[in-house]
C-alpha cells in the first residue's frame, strides 16, 4: 500500500513539475494556471500610484565599485574607508546593493550561466534523479533538484532550482556516475568564490559596526559546519505573469546573501512600502542583508522584503549563495551595540531554532524576525506591517 502511495506521489510530482506545466499551458492542453500558482492580488499587485511612479524612477539601488577592497590589495586606505562607508550606508538604508569590480572572473560567471542553463534544459526525468529523499535526509529539506515546490510562502513560486550545501558533485553524481565535471566544476568554483567574497564583505561590515574584523567571518572558518547554501534558480517564462510570482515576498533568514541575476530582470525590493526594481547591471552581484545580520547588528542593518516577478516571454536564471552560521550558533547583538539610545531589539536565539521557526511559517513576508523581537524595546513596531 505504502509503495502504491509513494509511486502515486512521485507521479503527481512529475506531472506538477513546473516545466511540464509550462509545456501543457503552451500547447493549450490546460488553459488555466493550477490554483496553487495563483497569488492573491495584494501580493502580486504593483502598488505604485501614478504619483509614486516618478518617485520610484528616482529610487535606484546603490551600485558600489569594490575594486579597492580586493583581498591582497595594498590600495589607498582613504578609498577603502569611503567604500566601506558606502556599503554600511547601503546596509542601513536599503539592506540591498549591487557591487561591481568584485574580482570574480567574467569567464567563470559566463561558464556558470551556460552550464546552469544546460542543466535546467535537461528532461525532467533526469533532473529528478537529483532529488533527496527527505524522509532519509531531513536536513536536506530544501536541497537537491526541485521543480514542484511546496507552498513555500503564501503560494507556490513559479520556479525550479538546484541547490545544496557543500560539494556540487554530491548532487551531480546522483545523475552522472562521473559527477559531470563540465557542469559541477564551474558551479563549485563560483560558489567558492562567492564564499570568499562574502567573508570579505562580512569583515567590512563588522568593522563598520565597530566590531573586530573577524567577528562574522570566523563563523565560516574551515572547521565549522555552517549552514550556507548555494542555489541555481530557473524561472520559466509564464503565459500568465499577471497571476503568479516567481518568488513571493520574503526576507532571507541568513547573515548575508550574494546573488547573480541575468539580464531579464524581475527582482524587486520593498522600500518605503513600494516595490523597486533591481535593474540588471552586467557583471554585477547583488548583496543583501539577512535576518541574522539585522538581529546581530541590533537592527542597524536591515533585512528587507524582496520578491521576483515572472516574465511572459523570457526564462530568467539566477544563482544565489546564502551565508548562514551553524545551527548551534547563538545570534544576538554584542554589548558594544546596545546602550540607552540603542536598546536591545531582539532576544538572542539559536540559528537552528530560527530556521525551524521559519520553515514552520514558510517564509511569509518580513514577519519571521518577530520571532525574536522585543516589543517593549520597539513600541513603534508593536504592530509590524
Ligand atoms: O532570483 C532572484 O533574483 C532572487 C532569489 C531570492 O530571493 C532568494 O533566493 O531568496
The answer to whether residue 48 scores a pLDDT higher than 90 is: no
Identify the weakest region by mean pLDDT among 10-19, 98-107, 180-189. 10-19
List the domains of the chain with CATH numbers: 34-382 (2.60.120.330)
Confidence of residue 11 (pLDDT cuts 50, 70, 90): low
Distance CA 86, CA 362 (A): 33
Confidence of residue 79 (pLDDT cuts 50, 70, 90): very high
Summarize pLDDT for 152-180 with one digit per residue, the tens.
Answer: 667 888 999 999 999 999 999 999 999 99
Q: What's the rounded mean pLDDT across residues 200-228?
A: 95
**Where do the H-state alpha helices sit in 257-361?**
291-296, 351-361
Confidence of residue 382 (pLDDT cuts 50, 70, 90): very low
Burial of 133 (0-12, 13-18, 19+ CB in 10 A): exposed
Pocket test for ligand 1, best of 306, 362, 363, 366 (most atoms within 8 A of CB): 306
Summarize pLDDT for 90-109 with one digit per residue, the tens.
Answer: 999 999 999 999 999 999 99
What string of DSSP letters covers 132-195?
--TTT-GGGTT-EEESS----SSS--S-EEEEESS-HHHHHTTT-TT--HHHHHHHHHHHHHHH
Residue 26: per-residue pLDDT: 82
Element (H, E) at 363: none
Distance CA 287, CA 352 (A): 23
Q: Is the distance from the beta carbon of residue 233 to the nearest atom of ligand 1 less than 6 Å?
A: yes
Confidence of residue 18 (pLDDT cuts 50, 70, 90): confident
pTM over 0.85: yes
Q: Is the distance from the beta carbon of residue 153 to the nearest atom of ligand 1 less than 6 Å?
A: no
Distance CA 193, CA 198 (A): 8
Atom of ligand 1 nearest to the CA of 320: 9
**Ligand 1 center–CA 250 separation, angstroms:** 9
The answer to whether residue 49 scores a pLDDT higher than 60 is: no
Average pLDDT along the chain:
87
Q: Nearest 5°: CA angle at 104, between 212 and 216?
A: 20
Pocket test for ligand 1, best of 247, 249, 304 (most atoms within 8 A of CB): 247
Q: What's the rounded mean pLDDT across residues 226-252?
A: 93
Q: 259 pairs with which residues across the strands?
A: 286, 320
Q: Is the distance from the beta carbon of residue 318 to the nearest atom of ligand 1 less than 6 Å?
A: yes
What's the Cα-to-Cα distance from 199 to each of 112, 213, 368, rounded to whole Å?
21, 10, 25
How is residue 365 annotated by DSSP? Answer: B
Pocket test for ligand 1, best of 234, 286, 308, 368 (most atoms within 8 A of CB): 308
Identify the weakest region by mean pLDDT among 65-79, 140-154, 324-338. 140-154
Distance CA 2, CA 4 (A): 5
Residue 312: per-residue pLDDT: 92
Residue 294: per-residue pLDDT: 98
**Ligand 1 center–CA 320 separation, angstroms:** 7
Summarize pLDDT for 121-136 with one digit per residue, the tens.
Answer: 999 999 999 998 777 6
Identify the weakest region by mean pLDDT among 63-72, 129-138, 235-244. 129-138
Q: Is the distance from the beta carbon of residue 247 to the nearest atom of ligand 1 less than 6 Å?
A: yes
Atom of ligand 1 nearest to the CA of 246: 1
C-alpha cell at 278: 533591481
**Ligand 1 center–CA 4 separation, angstroms:** 36
Confidence of residue 2 (pLDDT cuts 50, 70, 90): very low
What's the Cα-to-Cα distance from 104 to each of 111, 186, 196, 212, rounded to whole Å?
12, 12, 10, 26
Residue 258: per-residue pLDDT: 98
C-alpha cell at 240: 500568465
Q: Is the distance from the beta carbon of residue 261 to the nearest atom of ligand 1 less than 6 Å?
A: yes
365 vs 178 pLDDT, higher one: 178
72 vs 83 pLDDT, higher one: 83
Question: What do you get for the CA distance between the two ends of the chain, in Å?
Answer: 47
Residue nearest atom 1 of ligand 1, based on CA coordinates: 318
Atom of ligand 1 nearest to the CA of 233: 1
The answer to whether residue 267 scores a pLDDT higher than 90 is: yes
Confidence of residue 362 (pLDDT cuts 50, 70, 90): low
Residue nearest atom 10 of ligand 1, based on CA coordinates: 252
**Ligand 1 center–CA 97 separation, angstroms:** 14
Confidence of residue 383 (pLDDT cuts 50, 70, 90): very low
Which residues 6+ apart lie within 8 Å of 223 measured at CB? none
Q: Is the distance from the beta carbon of residue 308 to the nearest atom of ligand 1 less than 6 Å?
A: yes
Distance CA 23, CA 114 (A): 22
**Ligand 1 center–CA 308 separation, angstroms:** 7
Q: 144 pairs with which residues across the strands?
A: 163
**Ligand 1 center–CA 218 separation, angstroms:** 25
The answer to whether residue 4 scores a pLDDT higher than 50 is: no
Residue 175: per-residue pLDDT: 97
> Residue 301 in contact with residue 294, Cβ under 8 Å?
yes
Amino acid at each position: 500500500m505504502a509503495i502504491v502511495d509513494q509511486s502515486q506521489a512521485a507521479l503527481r510530482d512529475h506531472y506538477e513539475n513546473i516545466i511540464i506545466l509550462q509545456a501543457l499551458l503552451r500547447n493549450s492542453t490546460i488553459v488555466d494556471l493550477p490554483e496553487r500558482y495563483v497569488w492573491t492580488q495584494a501580493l502580486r499587485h504593483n502598488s505604485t500610484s501614478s504619483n509614486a511612479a516618478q518617485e520610484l524612477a528616482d529610487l535606484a539601488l546603490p551600485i558600489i565599485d569594490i575594486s579597492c577592497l580586493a583581498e591582497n590589495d595594498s590600495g589607498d586606505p582613504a578609498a577603502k574607508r569611503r567604500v566601506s562607508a558606502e556599503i554600511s550606508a547601503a546596509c542601513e538604508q536599503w539592506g540591498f546593493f549591487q557591487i561591481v569590480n568584485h574580482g570574480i572572473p567574467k569567464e567563470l560567471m559566463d561558464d556558470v550561466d551556460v552550464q546552469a542553463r544546460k542543466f535546467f534544459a535537461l528532461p525532467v526525468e533526469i533532473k529528478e534523479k537529483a532529488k533527496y529523499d527527505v524522509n532519509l535526509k531531513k536536513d536536506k529539506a530544501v536541497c537537491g533538484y526541485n521543480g514542484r515546490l511546496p507552498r513555500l510562502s503564501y503560494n507556490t513560486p513559479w520556479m525550479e532550482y538546484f541547490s545544496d550545501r557543500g560539494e556540487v558533485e554530491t548532487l551531480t553524481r546522483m545523475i552522472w556516475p562521473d559527477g559531470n565535471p563540465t557542469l559541477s566544476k564551474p558551479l563549485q568554483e563560483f560558489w567558492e568564490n562567492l564564499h570568499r567574497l562574502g567573508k570579505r564583505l562580512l569583515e567590512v561590515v563588522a568593522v563598520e559596526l565597530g566590531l573586530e574584523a573577524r567577528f562574522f567571518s570566523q563563523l565560516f572558518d574551515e572547521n565549522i559546519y555552517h549552514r550556507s547554501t548555494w542555489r541555481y534558480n530557473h524561472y520559466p517564462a509564464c503565459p500568465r505573469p499577471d497571476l503568479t510570482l516567481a518568488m513571493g515576498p520574503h526576507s532571507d533568514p541568513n547573515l548575508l546573501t550574494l546573488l547573480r541575476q541575468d539580464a531579464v530582470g524581475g527582482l524587486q525590493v520593498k522600500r518605503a512600502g513600494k516595490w523597486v526594481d533591481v535593474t540588471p547591471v552586467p557583471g554585477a552581484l547583488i548583496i543583501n542583508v539577512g535576518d541574522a545580520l539585522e538581529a546581530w547588528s541590533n537592527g542597524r542593518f536591515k533585512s528587507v522584503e524582496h520578491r521576483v516577478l515572472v516574465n511572459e516571454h523570457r526564462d530568467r536564471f539566477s544563482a544565489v549563495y546564502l551565508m548562514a552560521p551553524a545551527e548551534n550558533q547563538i545570534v544576538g547583538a554584542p554589548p558594544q551595540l546596545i546602550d540607552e539610545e540603542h536598546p536591545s531589539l531582539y532576544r538572542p536565539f539559536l540559528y537552528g531554532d530560527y530556521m525551524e521557526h521559519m520553515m514552520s511559517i514558510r517564509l511569509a513576508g518580513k514577519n519571521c524576525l518577530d520571532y525574536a523581537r522585543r516589543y517593549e524595546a520597539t513600541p513603534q513596531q508593536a504592530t509590524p506591517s
